[in-house]
């Protein structure tokens, strides 16, 4: 995703400090004065509610006129906009050099803040990409959850991890490549994948770097849907091998060709043209919106993907399509030559200009009214409707299971209402070593994985679980308080810390509960219901109660509490093992000031081990370019 220029960000920070007074904009005279101070040029504006949460991010060619329209009596085209206007408590703005820059910044801010009134992709942080690091000698094909500018090829985003992994499995049968980690690869020994013909064995140089890179190029062509180009290249190689009487390789290319042609035959021919196209259609029901995207490459359907939207509500079609395209193509790795939509979209010229800049070539937006393309969009909308119905059935099933559990938990713990957001904390360490804390979050009785957080224990020495728990809770609540006061814009953007829990669970007994309550009291959050769950007898300890709350093990409320506790324990111990493993890989050389990664590699490459360095003479170490003073310090330390 493109990021806003550094100059724009610094302007925003300075302007917020100088132009914004902490005064409710419901005061008419204050609003008028502030609106007059808003510049007339292009930019992005943010609305906050009375809890300082960003609830809407918008873009305008003329900031002053656009902001003024929200505070005009009777403004509100739809119920959604009218509700937004009622909840506006404060506003901010950031000026930009032009409208395209404003569009990019708007997209970044929506992704960062995820405002409730903006149209946005659900769970977009969980989308997978397939990464091909083509700049490496023997690239490892693997999955990634983000795209970085590192010279690698990325394909995605994919909403279904299972579908992507199935695709990769099929490709490896056709075009074998390595997927092992760099640590395993450096061992220089082929593994089972080589023997079952899923990897060509680059670790033992069973394939040259040039041939392996050609293989990765073939994988890229396949992922792009360029089966015709791949067929042409493999045909040339087959004929060339046959001409050299290399019949073994010719037969291998022949088999690959037959497999690719079988796959290509299953791809439906959709259009007469050869341009790349994306078809977009959507379905809407009871405030839920599901968008389906079909990928047409070289005139053939090569795949499709579905995306549920948040914040679409009763948005008009042109606004809905703009919101989806802005979020989807900001993270897409491929921009097609043509995008076919079911209806008009807001600001089509601006969108095509932005997409053309990302693509590096012209992009057109089509809205067919009749003919083959219109029929395809209609068919895709029917697919979207079926997907939406499946999603609603699953949601109803989940709700029917979780609502009784939340109600039973509220009754067992004597809560005023079923908790919407539950946070659970656990500490994992071995005698104080590699200590970590974990926070897991359940919302509406289901895990909210993107709100899970790890804490490295920084200020608690030695094995003291109570003090470690207090440190974790103190740091978490400080982030909550800081966000509520809007002292740190970065914290405000982290929804996991800005959201206030309805219930806190502690993995432990009376001692852990007392430690937690002490922190909550001092931080001013004693009103948050807090309980502890002991592992041995599965007893729930409550504040100001000498006897624990005992629930039947198969009761719905107890099931939910145990599930949350077990998830916190799993999350904590998994991270603890990773931290401990990384620590185990450290070398005594790392503790010597002046010995960085380059010198460490040079020393180990020359001497072979730390023991050999320990036994070496200072002169031998100096001969490698290490200053004499540093060489003596190294010997003293080892």
Residues 544 and 629 in one domain: no
Residues 547 and 599 in one domain: no
pLDDT above 60 for 347? yes
pLDDT for 475 equals 92
pLDDT above 90 for 236? no
Q: What is the pTM of this model?
A: 0.58
Residues 362 and 457 in one domain: no
pLDDT for 550 equals 81
- State the CATH number of the domain containing residue 484: 3.30.420.340
pLDDT for 85 equals 86
In this prediction, residue 515 has a pLDDT band, given cuts at 50, 70 and 90, of very high
Residues 48 and 165 in one domain: no
pLDDT for 490 equals 43
pLDDT above 50 for 68? yes
Is residue 350 in a domain?
A: yes
Q: Give counts: helices (H), strands (E), the chain.
A: 23, 19
Residues 575 and 551 in one domain: yes
pLDDT for 227 equals 65
For 79-126, how does the pLDDT look when each residue is reduced to its tens digit (9 = 90+)?
Answer: 788 888 888 888 889 999 888 888 989 988 988 888 989 988 876 656
pLDDT above 70 for 340? yes
Is residue 414 in a domain?
A: no
For 255-269, how does the pLDDT look when each residue is reduced to its tens digit (9 = 90+)?
Answer: 777 766 665 544 444
Residues 464 and 579 in one domain: yes
Nearest-10 Cα torsion for 71, 76, 79, 82 = 0
- State the CATH number of the domain containing residue 284: 3.30.420.10
Residues 432 and 356 in one domain: no
pLDDT above 70 for 283? yes
H or E stretch covering 376:
helix 371-412
Provide DSSP, 187-223.
Answer: T----HHHHTTS---GGGTSS-HHHHHHHHHHHHHHH
pLDDT above 60 for 8? no
Region 185-201 average pLDDT: 89
Q: Are 277 and 373 in contact (CB under 8 A)?
A: no
Last residue of a domain, one of 224, 242, 267: 224
Last residue of a domain, one of 91, 117, 143: 117
Last residue of a domain, one of 545, 561, 583: 583
Region 179-190 average pLDDT: 88
In this prediction, residue 285 has a pLDDT band, given cuts at 50, 70 and 90, of confident
Long-range contacts of 466-471 (CB under 8 A, 24+ apart): 466/511, 466/512, 466/515, 467/515, 468/427, 468/429, 468/435, 468/437, 469/425, 469/427, 469/437, 469/506, 469/508, 469/512, 469/515, 469/516, 470/515, 470/516, 470/518, 470/519, 471/437
pLDDT for 273 equals 57
Is residue 36 in a domain?
A: yes
Residues 184 and 299 in one domain: no
pLDDT above 50 for 281? yes
For 13-55, how does the pLDDT look when each residue is reduced to its tens digit (9 = 90+)?
Answer: 333 333 344 444 445 677 778 888 888 889 999 999 888 889 9
Is residue 489 in a domain?
A: yes
Residues 129 and 112 in one domain: no
For 140-177, how does the pLDDT look when each residue is reduced to its tens digit (9 = 90+)?
Answer: 998 888 888 888 999 877 777 777 787 788 778 778 89
Region 194-209 average pLDDT: 91
**Helix, strand, or coil here: 310?**
strand
Query: Could you give the number of structural domains in the chain?
Result: 5
Is residue 262 in a domain?
A: no
Is residue 493 in a domain?
A: yes
CA dist., res. 530 & res. 516, Å (int): 8
Exposure b/e, 277-286, CB count within 10 A at least 16 = b: bbbbbbbbee
Region 545-552 average pLDDT: 82
- State the CATH number of the domain containing residue 58: 3.40.1440.10
Residues 592 and 579 in one domain: no
Region 545-560 average pLDDT: 81
pLDDT for 488 equals 44
- State the CATH number of the domain containing residue 627: 1.10.150.20
Residue 269 DSSP symbol = B
Domain span at residue 196 reads 125-224
Q: What is the mean pLDDT of the chain?
A: 82
Is residue 240 in a domain?
A: no
Q: Considering the chain, what percentage of its residues have pLDDT values greater than 90? A: 27
Residues 435 and 563 in one domain: yes
For 428-448, how does the pLDDT look when each residue is reduced to its tens digit (9 = 90+)?
Answer: 887 767 789 999 999 988 899
In this prediction, residue 422 has a pLDDT band, given cuts at 50, 70 and 90, of very high
Residues 455 and 563 in one domain: yes
Is residue 457 in a domain?
A: yes
């Amino acid at each position: 995703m493109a990021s806003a220029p550094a100059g724009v960000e610094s302007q925003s920070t300075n302007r917020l400090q100088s132009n914004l007074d902490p005064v409710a904009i419901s005061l008419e005279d204050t609003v008028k004065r502030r609106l007059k101070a808003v510049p007339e040029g292009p930019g992005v504006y943010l609305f906050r509610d009375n809890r300082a949460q960003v609830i809407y991010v918008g873009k305008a060619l003329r900031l002053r006129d656009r902001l003024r329209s929200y505070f005009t009596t009777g403004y509100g085209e739809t119920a959604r906009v009218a509700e937004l206007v009622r909840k506006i408590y404060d506003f901010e703005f950031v000026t930009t050099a032009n409208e395209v820059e404003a569009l990019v910044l708007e997209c970044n801010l929506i992704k960062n803040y995820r405002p409730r009134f903006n149209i946005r992709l659900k769970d977009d942080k969980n989308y997978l990409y397939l990464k091909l690091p083509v700049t490496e000698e023997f690239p490892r094909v693997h999955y990634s959850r983000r795209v970085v500018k590192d010279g690698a090829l990325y394909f995605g985003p994919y909403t279904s991890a299972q579908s992507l992994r199935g695709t990769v499995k099929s490709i490896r049968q056709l075009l074998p490549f390595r997927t092992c980690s760099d640590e395993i690869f450096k061992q220089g020994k082929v593994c089972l994948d080589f023997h079952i013909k899923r990897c060509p064995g680059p670790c033992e140089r069973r394939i040259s770097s040039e041939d392996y890179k050609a293989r990765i190029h073939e994988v890229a062509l396949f992922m792009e849907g360029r089966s015709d180009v791949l067929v042409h290249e493999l045909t040339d190689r087959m004929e060339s091998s046959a001409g050299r009487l290399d019949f073994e390789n010719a037969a291998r290319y022949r088999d690959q060709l037959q497999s690719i042609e079988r796959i290509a035959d299953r791809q439906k021919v959709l259009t007469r043209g050869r341009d790349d196209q994306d078809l977009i259609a959507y379905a809407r029901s009871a405030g839920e919106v599901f968008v389906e995207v079909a990928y047409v490459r070289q005139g053939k359907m090569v795949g499709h993907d579905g995306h549920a939207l948040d914040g679409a509500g009763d948005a008009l079609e042109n606004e809905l399509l703009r919101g989806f395209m802005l979020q989807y193509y900001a993270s897409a790795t491929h921009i097609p030559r043509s995008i076919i939509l079911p209806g008009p979209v807001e600001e089509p010229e601006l969108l095509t200009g932005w997409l053309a800049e990302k693509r590096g070539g012209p992009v057109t937006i089509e809205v067919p009214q009749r003919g083959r393309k219109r029929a395809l969009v209609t068919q895709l909308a029917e697919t979207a409707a079926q997907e939406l119905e499946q999603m609603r059935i699953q949601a109803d099933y989940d709700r029917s299971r979780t609502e009784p559990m939340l109600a039973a938990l509220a009754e067992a713990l004597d809560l005023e209402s079923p908790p919407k957001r539950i946070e659970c904390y656990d500490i994992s360490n071995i005698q104080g070593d590699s200590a970590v804390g974990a926070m897991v979050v359940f919302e509406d009785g289901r895990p909210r994985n993107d709100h899970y957080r790890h804490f490295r224990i920084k200020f608690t020495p030695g094995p003291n679980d109570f003090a470690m728990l207090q440190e974790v809770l103190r740091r978490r609540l400080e982030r909550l308080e800081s966000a509520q006061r809007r002292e740190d814009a970065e914290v405000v953007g982290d929804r996991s810390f800005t959201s206030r829990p309805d219930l806190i669970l502690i993995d432990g007994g009376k001692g852990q509960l007392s430690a937690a309550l002490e922190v909550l009291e001092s931080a001013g959050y004693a009103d948050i219901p807090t309980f502890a769950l002991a592992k041995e007898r599965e007893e729930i300890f409550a504040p100001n109660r000498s006897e624990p709350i005992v629930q039947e093990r198969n009761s719905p409320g107890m099931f939910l509490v145990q599930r949350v506790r077990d998830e916190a324990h799993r999350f904590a111990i998994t991270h603890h093992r990773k931290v401990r493993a990384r620590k185990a890989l450290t070398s005594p050389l790392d503790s010597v000031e002046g010995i960085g990664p380059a010198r460490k590699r040079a020393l180990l490459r020359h001497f072979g081990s730390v023991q050999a360095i320990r036994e070496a003479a200072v002169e031998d170490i100096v001969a490698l370019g290490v200053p004499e003073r540093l060489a003596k310090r190294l010997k003293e330390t080892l």
